């Protein structure tokens, strides 16, 4: 009965006409935005294949028969969300972008336990053998980040997730790089695209778009987490990340938004 009630509550929240969707790839300032906008709903994915951390999703499902039951429930929740979302007559969406390497570093630390588990056990890894637990120095984190994290996720999120759900090709619409803003309108959707680093400069636009007075509050900040010291030692300009950074710079995503 609890599971049924949960699905009903999820359907009602997604389908409620006042709900504004903070629909984004994660670690782009969305939690702060959600807490600043009444009736906001924070969504990373409507499809399980686009989960921000597949290792965690798989781990939460458990093992054996429990795995199949839990995964079925997970998929059912996604189905309910998609059904409710598509039944809406009109929908307002706020989505955000962030420099991909910085976003990935932030997301890596957010799910650090999952990636370390994968690094040392080989769980969910195709081309990586388990590492010995005797390797405990700080550089292990860099190796773990480079080897186990899905680095192309932010580059393809708008194609694999956003376009699939809304039918909107975000790259086909102009984005003001200087102001860090873009607006897309279709028959069913109104979409506000914002650069995370320019949120404070766009509060007036946010307020106009959402119809409420938006007063941004900082939430889910990495500097306040238990891993803050380690997080501060991860620098996007580290030479170890040079190849990765070049891959991002050459991407369609980076060229469109930056």
For 5, 7, 9, 69, 218, the CA distances from 2, given in Å and listed in that order, are 5, 9, 10, 15, 33
pLDDT of the residue at 65: 78
pLDDT of the residue at 134: 64
Domain assignment of residue 225, given as a range:
2-257
**Tens of pLDDT along the chain (258 residues)?**
888 999 999 999 999 999 999 999 999 988 889 889 999 999 999 999 999 998 888 877 777 777 888 889 999 999 999 999 999 999 999 999 999 999 999 999 999 999 999 998 888 776 677 777 666 677 889 999 999 999 999 999 999 999 999 999 999 999 999 999 999 999 999 999 999 999 999 999 999 999 999 988 776 566 677 788 888 888 899 999 999 999 999 999 999 999
228 neighbors 109 (Cβ within 8 angstroms): no
For 32, 50, 70, 73, 176, the CA distances from 60, given in Å and listed in that order, are 26, 16, 8, 12, 40
pLDDT of the residue at 176: 99
For 75, 119, 136, 170, the CA distances from 133, given in Å and listed in that order, are 34, 10, 7, 43
**Beta-ladder partners of 34:** none
Distance CA 177, CA 110 (A): 28
Domain count across the chain = 1
- Phi, psi of 62, deg, nearest 5: 85, -155
pTM for this structure? 0.93
Scan for tokens 């782009």, then name that residue.
28
pLDDT of the residue at 174: 98
């Amino acid at each position: 009965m609890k599971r049924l009630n949960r699905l009903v509550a999820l359907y009602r929240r997604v389908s409620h006409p006042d709900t504004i969707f903070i629909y984004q790839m994660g670690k782009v300032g969305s939690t702060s935005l959600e807490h600043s906008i009444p009736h906001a709903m924070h969504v990373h994915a409507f499809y399980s294949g686009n989960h921000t951390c597949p290792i965690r999703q798989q781990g939460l499902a458990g093992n054996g028969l429990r795995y199949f039951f839990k995964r079925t429930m997970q998929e059912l929740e996604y189905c309910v969300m998609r059904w409710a979302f598509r039944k809406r007559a009109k929908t307002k969406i706020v989505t955000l972008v962030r420099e991909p390497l910085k976003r990935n570093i932030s997301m890596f630390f957010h799910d650090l336990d999952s990636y370390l588990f994968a690094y040392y056990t080989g769980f969910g890894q195709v081309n990586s053998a388990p590492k010995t637990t005797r390797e405990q120095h700080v550089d292990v984190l860099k190796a773990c980040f480079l080897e186990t994290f899905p680095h192309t996720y932010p580059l393809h999120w708008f194609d694999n997730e956003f376009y699939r759900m809304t039918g909107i090709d975000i790259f086909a619409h102009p984005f003001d790089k200087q102001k860090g803003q873009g607006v897309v309108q279709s028959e069913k959707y109104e979409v506000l695209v914002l650069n995370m680093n320019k949120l404070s400069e766009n509060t007036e636009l946010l307020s106009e778009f959402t119809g409420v007075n938006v007063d941004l509050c900082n939430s889910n900040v990495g500097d306040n987490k238990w891993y803050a010291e380690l997080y501060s030692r991860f620098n996007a300009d580290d030479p170890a990340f040079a190849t990765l950074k070049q891959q991002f710079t050459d991407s369609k995503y980076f060229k469109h938004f930056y």
